Structure 1
Amino acid sequence: WTGEAGDATAALELSTALLPDMTEALGPHHPDTLVIRNNIAAWTGETGDATTARDLFTALLPDRIRVLGPSHISTLVTRNNIANWTGEAGDATAALELSTALLPDMTEALGPHHPETLVIRNNIAAWTGKTGDAATARDLLTALLPDMTGTLGPDHPTTLTTRHNIARWTERAGDPLAALALWRELMPRWLSVYGEDHPRTLLLRERMAATEAATEGERPEPEPE
């Protein structure tokens, strides 16, 4: 909760101090000890050290497989964390490969509509875009949206973020006017969930304003009477 309150550095220090006591009390392979190692890796990443976070999660994975099994949700989430921090460390191509390899295992273990499975599909789309293929990222998210809406509901923040990202990758694929139309269609639901003054609303309005300014000359002229 120290980390959730905004102090990732202090959360990392507290978790690191806890690990030897947890190891002594429960052993190095107890599931709760592995949770502390997971938290250390996560807070390491949140403090800005993506490379070390990736390495810590990579070192954790064999122990999670040994203790929990390869299909346990915590094992699968660890694999997802390795993929994500690999991408955050600068290798989007490897992150895409890891996420793509994870998807069938996550689908088999949890089902195609489980929220964690949908997260992997979202991540595959994101890393696809970050490798330079904006059009495919847009198409993958567009295909994901009905499942996200059916599982989480139309007003869930993750569903709204998916719609936002469809617009963002639409813009990056070369169609800013279509992106603006998608954002305008999204805005009423976005405001009902976040409100006018939420930082995410302000960021979305800034992005829309920048796109509107960049496309001012692309607007079609009205037909003469």
Structure 2
Amino acid sequence: MTRTSALALTLAAALASSTAWADQPPPQNVVGLSASASLEVNKDVLSVTLSTTREGTEAGAVQSQLKQALDAALNEAKKAAKPGQIEVRTGNFSLFPRYSNKGGITGWQGTAELTLEGKDIPGIAQLTGRINTMTVARVGTSLSREQREKVESDVTGQAIAQYRAKAADVARQFGFSGYTLREVQVNSDQPPMYAAAPMMRAKTMSDASEALPVELGKGTVTVTVNGTVQLTK
């Protein structure tokens, strides 16, 4: 068989299959349903972003001051760093000019950030109070992957049970004896990694040794089941 003949046979088979599919009647007694379940769990990760701002007439001097403040904060933070418990990472480090009304540069302003994050809540709170070259800019809390996975299986089971109960009830109300599943999707919500605590933004510690007050609160794990079922006699 030549290559041209094989290609022609393949195209013919594809057209025949497409025609057969098109000739099939649309599915009957199909219902789309949705169900979800949620569970509140204690958040277990704290994220604190510290920042400092410097300004002056010389860009190099401002940059040097920022670096000194960041280096001092890093040195203090690294003493307490523990994998998974207190993670330390630098954030935004920027320097930009300030202009006069006439368009000329009148000075420079810069910002540096350092983030402390982890599960050792008391440790992070105490460390925040010991860093005196930067102040608190943002505070966030979240669920760790382990905390989420711990309850996600149970929540998924609840959502599926609700979906099945809803499908059975819909079938009964329409006068059918049961149903069969057609297409089903099970999705877990993906909320923002961190929920900011507005009341703690831009908080300046009154005493360099004072620990940051923290209340992690709760997070919600939600699972949703969407799909279609075929009602059966």
TM-score higher than 0.5: no
Q: Which has the higher contact order (CA 8 A, sep 6+)?
A: 2
Q: TM-score range by the shorter chain?
A: under 0.3
Q: In proportion to residue count, which structure has more strand? A: 2
Give me the TM-score of the superposition, normalised by structure 2: 0.18
Question: Which structure has the bigger radius of gyration?
Answer: 2
